[in-house]
Amino acid sequence: MPGKISIRWKNPRILFVVLLAVSMITFAIFCRHKDLSPSGIIAITALFASFIVLTFATGAQRKNILLLLCSVIFSLYIIECTLHFFLTPKERRVLDQVVRQTKIRPDTRTALEFVADMVRDGNPAAPFIPPKSFTRIVGLSLFPLSALSRIQTVFCNDYGIWQTYLSDQHGFNNPVADYSVNANDAVIVGDSFVNGHCVPWGEDVGSFLRLGGVRCLNLGMAGNGPLIELGVITEYAERLKPKTVFWCYFEGNDLNDLQDELASNILPDYLNDDFSQNLMNRQQELDDLLREHVAAASKNPPETTTRPLTSILFLRNIRSRLGFSFFKDHSDALQNTFYSIIGKANTRVNSWGGQMVFVYLPTYQTIFDKSTDATRALFLERIRLQGITVIDMAQEFRQMDDPLEAFPFRLPGHYSSTGYRRLAEAFLHFLKKDKPVTRNFHRQDLGKRLCAK
């Protein structure tokens, strides 16, 4: 009977060299499409240095170093598990605070459940389907850039109350709109902050701008990123030829959205000057596609999935609290693609004699923390170098007597009605219209919209 074969690491240095090589190969594969942040470079350098020290340390030294490293790693994961499982999620804390302030019992129905109840009560309605939900669908032949048209759209529920709006003839959040050439002074493109998330109907930036005497269209959709917004300019604004296009950029996630949009089989075609889906003349096709999407979602409601193991493995709770990231928020290549998109959008707007205005929308943290001002200034300077006018809403909000009023219940999130009104006032100032905007306006317009149906 053959004897047992055993491998004994008489020289542990070989083991550490092998582990170092495997780590480097794994790291190279994992990071091939990402750029390291300064803190990430420090962390990786420290890791590799530890391997090298362990390789050349003596037996007793190696044992002490391994004990220290294991203790630190064990402690970090104990803290991470505590943060993950025992602390109330931020969204829950926000909702609890809203309930305490308003004494309103939050509506816990899902969007599909809310829609079903509206339909059962005789009120036709549909859930909001963001264009971004089509980015990962393979083989798509038509990509919607708006929601269902002419229907009560169940939009959002950030603070325990479902908000809805009646979509216009092309699926956007406007009163019955005029989409003819030169009928509008301005159009606004952007994401949920333009769409009106999450305020009552009629208190979005477009509605406030109309109060100031500006004929405008709100062409924003929640979840939009730069590539979809370029598509919106191509499909809608280019045909409307407004004098001004306000491009609203949200610093919190627009570049992340761009990363997703680049995976689409259709959206990157908007980088070509001669590409168009001719969407304004295909509304029935768009509505049919969106209804199919709603029907599929109704049969198989999307589940809210979390990945606690992944979150814990990468110490996301600890890193988020320390502001630590292994990688740059966005790769240099992605940022260059973004600047290219902005340049193309500006060129297309200029082609009909219009002017594009780049509007920087800050997060709650940016307004009260000036540590990122220098980075934002460099970012905006690169936009200005393309000959584009910039409105920096971080500065505009800071000039308010109480900047916290720009946020619902003075909490982080989307802007409040006051915040959207302040945004509209910045637009009006640019357009040299100083007519004040108030909230008492949309009741008289409601009848017009319903009659137009």
Q: Is residue 1 part of a domain?
A: no
Q: Is residue 376 part of a domain?
A: yes
pLDDT for 305: 47
Lowest-confidence range among 59-63, 308-312, 384-388? 308-312
| Token pair in block for residue 203 | 């208190």
The rounded percent of the chain whose pLDDT value lies above 90 is: 57
Q: Is residue 72 part of a domain?
A: no
Whether 4 shows a pLDDT value over 60: the answer reads no
Query: Mean pLDDT, to the nearest integer, of 259-284?
Result: 95
Whether 5 shows a pLDDT value over 50: the answer reads no
pLDDT for 311: 72
Q: Is residue 360 part of a domain?
A: yes
Query: What's 183's domain CATH number?
Result: 3.40.50.1110
CA distance 168 to 204: 15
**For residue 393, which of 239, 186, 282, 249 has the smallest C-alpha distance?**
249
Q: Is residue 337 part of a domain?
A: yes
Neighbours of 85 (CB within 10 A): 10
**Strands 244-250, 186-189: parallel, antiparallel or unpaired by DSSP?**
parallel
pLDDT for 412: 86
Q: Is residue 79 part of a domain?
A: no
Instruction: Name which residue leads in pLDDT, 302 or 300.
Output: 300
Q: Is residue 289 part of a domain?
A: yes
Query: Mean pLDDT, to the nearest integer, of 243-267?
Result: 95
Give 9-35 pLDDT, tens digit per residue.
455 556 566 666 666 665 555 555 455
Q: Is residue 411 part of a domain?
A: yes
- Number of domain units in the chain: 1
Give 389-421 pLDDT, tens digit per residue.
999 999 999 999 999 999 988 888 899 999 999
pLDDT for 108: 86
**Residue type at 357 in one-letter notation:** V
pLDDT for 443: 35
The rounded percent of the chain whose pLDDT value lies above 70 is: 75
CA distance 51 to 49: 5
Which domain does 220 fall in, by range? 111-308+331-452
Distance of CA 125 to the CA centre of its chain: 25
